[in-house]
Structure 1
Amino acid sequence: MTQDLTLNPDRFFSPDPARRTLARALYQSVKDLPIISPHGHTDPAWFADNANFSNATDLLLVPDHYVLRMLYSQGIPLDALAVARKDGGPAADPREAWRRFAEHYYLFRGTPSRIWLDHVFGEVFGLEVRLSTDTADLYYDTITEALQTDAYKPRAILDRFNVAFLATTEGALDPLTHHAKIMADGWGERVVTTFRPDDVIDASRPDFAGNIARLGEITGEDTTSWRGYLAALRDRRAFFKAHGATASDHGHPTPLTANLSDSEAADLFEACLSGKADDARQELFRAQMLTEMARMSLEDGLVMQLHPGSVRNHNRTLHEAFGTDKGADIPQRVSYVDSLKPLLDVVGNDPRFQLILFTLDESNYARELAPLAGHYPCLRLGPPWWFHDSPEGMLRFRRQVTETAGFYNTAGFNDDTRALLSIPARHDLARRMDARFLSDLVMEHRLAEDEAFDLMTELAVKLVRKAYKLPMD
């Protein structure tokens, strides 16, 4: 038995009629504004090659770690979902994997994944019945057939949903071949890269020494020395900036920073490179490198983003069999006030520097992050991230940070997604939740109505452009 797929036009607004009416008007004022997506993990090859996607499973199921983690938590093995093993072992046929996904779609009731996927199914592919065992083949065929048309090529999708700016994320050693092609095709101001140097500044990685050697080969610098290593990083930052980068991104386990002397930093680098540094010394090196990256941001103008608090690849067995980004990254508690002080003592008062902070530890919002961003001119608060990119997460964020940091010390919205078609869904949800929050403030006489409409435009497009130093038009 099939059920209708219904996307209520007033979804996520208050059930109170007056608040709902105002939220609807606020949302309508920005719903068609361009989408600015300054931080994400979509594949640049999509936009360089502009080739058709193969099928529904490869586009919507296999890359989505939110979906994979829920299904895996219910005992469904990843190879049954067409996820490839590192050893080349067999994975399920894409259609069979989709059928298994449809059979278990009920697991996503009440989750953000359900919100995003239903939006994609209804708004992008025009499906009018709910995904279920009975409709699995209808979905698979409808989506897969649509993906073979020109209208669903990656660049056409960006045009269709008015994605005016999109950043991908690449490691420091990436040759940026795809971005070179994107630039050659005249798309270089619309799809850009982001500099993610974790591969060459995280000494706990088993490939750290090899990566440093490769860094030296690429740049022609002596990366066995501290000064040569820093020069090589400056060289790579310049290379990324030449390919459109406006920001760097740092996914460290903690936000710890340090400000060692030059000789102390050189000794620490030597210990890390030789494999003699223990866990504490490796953490200190990451801390020092955040401060070094901040100094370099003063030189080249790249906006700095810090995404701490995730224990990556927590499930060792899964990581060994399938690799990274399979839904086994888990949040942990972190602290910002003491951790960031060494960096802020160096660059925190310099108006040329901009650091956008994210968290997976929501207990930090009111206690640490909002007071920090409400004082230091270099700090902006990134939107609710990862597990908190949800209706309740967005409301918790606004309620906990606004009274201390205000709206203008936040960085708008970014979707941080690997799933191309979830971009319009996520931005639509963010705009709806901001409309709801602002309508509450107006109805409680804490904000004038005209100010709420001004803020909707700020939150949808202007603040994110300012935070990432993008053109305002």
Structure 2
Amino acid sequence: MPQTLSLHPDRLFPADPDTRAVARRLYAEIKDLPIVSPHGHTDPSWFAQNEPWKNPAQLLITPDHYVFRMLYSQGVALEDLGVPRADGGPVETDPRTIWRRFAERYHLFRGTPSRIWHDWVYAEVFGLDVRLSAETADQYYDVIDGALKTDAFRPRALFERYNIEVIATTESPLDDLRDHRTIRDSRWSGKVITAYRPDPVMDPDFEGFHANLARFGELTGEDVSTWTGYLAAHRKRRAFFAEHGATSTDHGHPTAFTADLSQAEAAALYQRVAAGTVSPADAELFRGQMLTEMARMSLDDGLVMQIHPGSFRNHNGTVFARFGRDKGADIPTRTEYVSALKPLLDAVGSEPGLTIILFTLDETAYSRELAPLAGHYPALRLGPPWWFHDSPEGMRRFREQITETAGFYNTVGFNDDTRAFLSIPARHDVARRIDTGFLARLVVEHRIEEDEAHQLSRALTYDLVKAAYRL
């Protein structure tokens, strides 16, 4: 007999009745505020073409590394989930079969944020009232598949239905941004902007780096064999991205290391990098120098800078060779910030007109390093719990460890950082519930007054993200 699926109205709120009552009041005032999604990896072609998703598997399984990394860990081959192979080799193409494999193993997600997000989507978006299981797999598939064939479930309609005010995608500097032009030229009211992610031409260890450099030069008309030409190419592409709505850059480096070499030293380093004779030490030095160069450019053009360090990308070499990047095999590493960021902060950290948003996958750095840094330097803000810590527990740990030193106003609200479109409203709802629960605890402990908590709940939901990302 299928089990009932229902979303409890008090889910994620504190268990203590007095605290829960305050959380309810706070949440009621902010739950319907517009969604501002300033950083993520949704596909802009969804909104440019506004074509229906083909089937439930394409919408909810195949693009979501949170889903297939868990299934892979339990022995399910990525081919069996329809994940495309780098060599174009055979993979499962029957979406109902993929869906059944997922449904049979849905119990694996118990206690995870993925379970929270998916249950929200099933109940709130598709109106399902029984739990997903092997027994209900076909019922789910038929309901979702039928809905996706209607205009009400096209990307733009869902964007409007869930009150998304703005969403930022993330593109390579080699992207022509044609989808963003299509969106703009369509005169649709939805706001979809891009963000400048220069890793393919800034990280000497990025696959195809030298071919990417050549293409970078072709796109910009600059001589990227020289240091000055290379920097000029970045300035041109940043301006091009800004013309297409970008208000931010994003940098996914292995570490938070920065450098501030003389221009002669930087030029000599770049010659080694461009020639392909770079050592691992030089590659790290170049990435560090470029973070400082990007910060200086942000002073000039106003783009907000995001640094997402500390992931050992593509840790599973077999998966990387077979399927390419971003297939659930990125693993957090220990990340040091105090010494690593000092060259950059010496150069620009006291600039109040600059915003650098720091993220971490190393929670041990919250209270020891990140909160004290953001609690001092005018240029620094702390990004929300990211990736592996985008969870109820991760959000609570973040607030508990950083608030005493950095406060609330040196943070930037919430961003979902997702590739799975329908998880956006689900994730934002989780963040709103956890933040109001945290604020409610401060109220009942008589650390802030309830009127202050109402102001803060709106700030954490809406005001801070708009201000930080200059939206």
C-alpha distance after superposition, 1:315-357 (max 9, x if no partner): 0101111111111000000100101110111111111110000
Amino acid across the alignment from 2:318 = T
CA distance in structure 2 between the aligned counterparts of 1:456 and 1:316, rounded to whole angstroms: 43
Asked if structure 2 preserves the Cα contact closer than 8 Å seen for 1:179 and 1:188, the reply is: no
Residue equivalent to 2:411: 410
Asked if structure 1 preserves the Cα contact closer than 8 Å seen for 2:42 and 2:418, the reply is: yes
CA distance in structure 1 between the aligned counterparts of 2:414 and 2:189, rounded to whole angstroms: 22
CA distance in structure 2 between the aligned counterparts of 1:419 and 1:270, rounded to whole angstroms: 40
CA distance in structure 2 between the aligned counterparts of 1:205 and 1:398, rounded to whole angstroms: 34
Is residue 2:277 matched to residue 1:281?
no
Q: What's the secondary structure of 1:121's corresponding residue?
A: helix
CA distance in structure 2 between the aligned counterparts of 1:412 and 1:78, rounded to whole angstroms: 34
Is residue 2:329 matched to residue 1:328?
yes
Call closer, same or farther: CA 1:457–1:231 in 2, change over 3 Å: same
Residue equivalent to 2:85: 85
Residue equivalent to 1:43: 43
Residue equivalent to 1:319: 320
Is residue 2:212 matched to residue 1:211?
yes
- The aligned runs of 1:22-101 (5 Å cut-off) are 22-92=22-92, 93-101=94-102
CA distance in structure 2 between the aligned counterparts of 1:177 and 1:184, rounded to whole angstroms: 10
Is residue 2:23 matched to residue 1:19?
no
CA distance in structure 1 between the aligned counterparts of 2:190 and 2:14, rounded to whole angstroms: 38
Q: TM-score, normalised by structure 1?
A: 0.98
Residue equivalent to 1:254: 255
CA distance in structure 1 between the aligned counterparts of 2:201 and 2:370, rounded to whole angstroms: 28
Q: What's the secondary structure of 2:341's corresponding residue?
A: helix
CA distance in structure 1 between the aligned counterparts of 2:430 and 2:348, rounded to whole angstroms: 35
Amino acid across the alignment from 1:466 = A
Q: CA deviation at 1:14?
A: 1.2
Call closer, same or farther: CA 1:10–1:307 in 2, change over 3 Å: same
CA distance in structure 1 between the aligned counterparts of 2:82 and 2:221, rounded to whole angstroms: 42
Residue equivalent to 1:344: 345
Amino acid across the alignment from 2:459 = E
Q: CA deviation at 1:150?
A: 0.7
Number of residue pairs matched? 470
Residue equivalent to 1:181: 182
- The aligned runs of 1:390-469 (5 Å cut-off) are 390-469=391-470
Q: What's the secondary structure of 1:29's corresponding residue?
A: helix
Moved more, 11-20 or 421-430: 11-20
Q: What's the secondary structure of 2:339's corresponding residue?
A: helix
Residue equivalent to 1:297: 298
CA distance in structure 2 between the aligned counterparts of 1:126 and 1:189, rounded to whole angstroms: 25
Asked if structure 1 preserves the Cα contact closer than 8 Å seen for 2:384 and 2:413, the reply is: yes
Asked if structure 2 preserves the Cα contact closer than 8 Å seen for 1:188 and 1:244, the reply is: no
CA distance in structure 1 between the aligned counterparts of 2:207 and 2:62, rounded to whole angstroms: 27
* 4+ long deviations beyond 3 Å: none
CA distance in structure 2 between the aligned counterparts of 1:64 and 1:205, rounded to whole angstroms: 22
Amino acid across the alignment from 2:467 = K
CA distance in structure 2 between the aligned counterparts of 1:301 and 1:384, rounded to whole angstroms: 25
Q: TM-score, normalised by structure 2?
A: 0.99
CA distance in structure 1 between the aligned counterparts of 2:267 and 2:90, rounded to whole angstroms: 47
Q: What's the secondary structure of 2:427's corresponding residue?
A: helix
Q: CA deviation at 1:205?
A: 2.1
Q: CA deviation at 1:188?
A: 7.8
Amino acid across the alignment from 2:120 = H
Unaligned runs of 5+ in 1: none
CA distance in structure 1 between the aligned counterparts of 2:188 and 2:449, rounded to whole angstroms: 40
- The aligned runs of 1:129-144 (5 Å cut-off) are 129-144=130-145
Q: CA deviation at 1:15?
A: 1.3
Q: What's the secondary structure of 2:305's corresponding residue?
A: strand
Residue equivalent to 1:6: 6
Asked if structure 1 preserves the Cα contact closer than 8 Å seen for 2:299 and 2:353, the reply is: yes
CA distance in structure 1 between the aligned counterparts of 2:86 and 2:255, rounded to whole angstroms: 29
Q: What's the secondary structure of 2:250's corresponding residue?
A: strand
CA distance in structure 1 between the aligned counterparts of 2:378 and 2:353, rounded to whole angstroms: 9
CA distance in structure 2 between the aligned counterparts of 1:21 and 1:205, rounded to whole angstroms: 50
Asked if structure 2 preserves the Cα contact closer than 8 Å seen for 1:208 and 1:273, the reply is: no
Q: What's the secondary structure of 1:339's corresponding residue?
A: coil
Identity over the aligned pairs, expressed in percent? 64
Is residue 2:393 matched to residue 1:362?
no
Asked if structure 1 preserves the Cα contact closer than 8 Å seen for 2:165 and 2:190, the reply is: no
Amino acid across the alignment from 1:25 = R
Asked if structure 1 preserves the Cα contact closer than 8 Å seen for 2:305 and 2:357, the reply is: yes
C-alpha distance after superposition, 1:253-308 (max 9, x if no partner): 00100000111001101101111111011000000000000010011000000000
CA distance in structure 2 between the aligned counterparts of 1:410 and 1:15, rounded to whole angstroms: 26
Unaligned runs of 5+ in 2: none
Q: What's the secondary structure of 2:457's corresponding residue?
A: helix
Moved more, 345-354 or 115-124: 345-354
